[in-house]
Chains A and B, each alone.
Chain A
């Protein structure tokens, strides 16, 4: 339970998130810059986690999460955004996702805490 795929269009964020997660013992198996490549990577790499940006250039992170949930066994999806949770309201609850983390709070510890709560 430590492989993770990062899907985000900001290369800078991908670098920082990879460093932070790897520092906490996660293995970043891949990175994708939009929804389509993210979906393809998830199918090919079968990571335990997907850190998924909501504001992707082609589709919304919500759409990617829904696609991933259809194909089993689904990875644990953690949505992220530089906005905070209050910008999305009920869209973040329900669905087959582990939860939401604002980008500035992304860390391996936060991810593991979410798994424990769930």
Chain B
């Protein structure tokens, strides 16, 4: 059926159903049926028609709504059985039997809207044929006059009280057997169902069980010729329980909607990058499946891995568990392993899947950003290390080249002065002495420059000696308190050295301090360098200042710099440098 014809038919039914319901009730009024009968018929038929139309509108693809409407329409014909219009009594009987079969179909088809197992189909077919045959046979032997009624049965074929009794007994027995069959199917279905499946079955299966038992009781009471009051009570119970079935369907529908709102919560909850465990719990909660698990795709392993990293076992086709795979751009991301019954509401699983995709996508972006951050960190550490290596090379070049030449020049000038003797031209002697002084000054400046580029003492004698040498050369009185004489990686030693060097340079330039203290401490794989002075304070890391550069250099090896410099209260710089980080050991 195309969706257009389906819609047309549905709209037609929406108009026709109330009219037919009113007609059915009008018939009951006209035949002077009891008010109770009229009320019960109205409630039962109205419930089926209204619920059926609702389900039909909501889920046009699911047959449930249409079948329920048909059941309601057939039930409208039930009053015809009373024989007020004798020829139509048979129509009423057949319609009622057919509505019973349809109700059976609805219950067995729930929640899929179609019969899934061959057993169900066979049972319903056999039951339908058996009941219809038995009822028609009974009707063929039914003589209203013999039962005290005042009309004739136009279909009375066998006018024999013995046959009538037998046919009626067979009809009742058939009913009882069919009802037992239903109970057996219900029991098996319930026993086999998992938690979430039971949650879905229960709103329909429970009233259906009550209904079947009520019909059985009514049938037995009728067969036993029980008192009228008792039979009436059983009939009312049966009719009202019948009305509960569509309501059960409604509840089932509502539960799905509640599950959808649970998914809305899920999206919110997954917003802040959940751990795999929290993701699993949230999903299990949203889908009402405590046994749900999530497996993540590992590109390295080429397989889905469970939360503990072991390869996940995905359920096979047709098992009680089903798997919903999440993909992004054709690449697998994760697999949700859940109860197969959840697939009966594809919308539900799809909503959950998109919620999870969103979250996993977030996680993936987060992981990507972190990976990029890690790369940036590593490359920053490499850049600093390369810079240090370059400084070392430049210092070495200065030492091997210009410094050697200046040394040689100085010695040559001294030799020349020696060879000249004391009785030489004083002007030449003076020139030589001046040249010699110039060469030595140049050498001294070159050494200072080389030390600024790379402190050779750091390589030669380590951080402690290098700090002491810095303190010795400072114009301020610097005390040194070395808490360790440990050697560290070149990157760590260089960073620590330049912290002290820059800090002492600042003390000399800006602090107006009388005294300064350099303290080192090595504990728990962290080197702490503290430089304090009694100067004017007010130091702050500018955008491109020396302190900013120090902070950058430190963070390149996962260290950090703290600056305490209240105005007028001296300055204290504290550098923390991890000494066990692999990033701090670039070679």
Contact = CB atoms under 8 A, between A and B. Distances in A.
A12 B418 CA distance: 18
Interface residues of B, number: 30
- Place the interface of chain A in its size category: 20 to 34
Interface in B249-305: none
Contacts of A84: 444, 447
A83 B415 contact: no
A84 B439 CA distance: 15
B465 A90 contact: yes
Nearest to A60: B460
Given A82-B404, A104-B440, A87 B456 contact: yes
Contact of A13 (B408, B439, B456, B468): B408
B469 interface: yes
B7 interface: no
B548 interface: no
A103 B411 contact: yes
B466 A89 contact: yes
Given A16-B415, A87-B451, A104 B461 contact: no
A106 B418 CA distance: 14
B159 interface: no
Given A16-B412, A86-B473, A104 B457 contact: no
Nearest to A87: B456
B531 interface: no
Contacts of B412: 16
A10 B406 contact: no
Interface centre among A13, A104, A107 (most CB of B within 10 A): A104
Contact of B461 (A19, A23, A88): A88
Majority secondary structure of chain B interface residues (helix, strand, loop or mixed): helix
Given A23-B418, A90-B465, A83 B411 contact: no
A87 B443 contact: no
B403 A91 contact: no
Contacts of A16: 408, 411-412, 415
Interface in A35-86: 82-84, 86
A104 B439 CA distance: 10
A104 B443 contact: yes
A86 B418 CA distance: 29
B414 interface: yes
Nearest to B412: A16
Contacts of A17: 411
Contacts of B455: 87
22 contacts: A13-B411, A16-B411, A16-B412, A16-B415, A20-B411, A20-B418, A23-B415, A83-B456, A84-B447, A86-B469, A87-B447, A87-B455, A89-B466, A89-B469, A90-B468, A103-B407, A103-B411, A104-B406, A104-B439, A104-B440, A104-B443, A106-B411
Given A10-B404, A89-B469, A104-B443, 12 more contacts: A20-B414, A82-B407, A84-B447, A87-B447, A87-B456, A88-B460, A89-B460, A90-B461, A90-B465, A103-B407, A104-B407, A104-B411
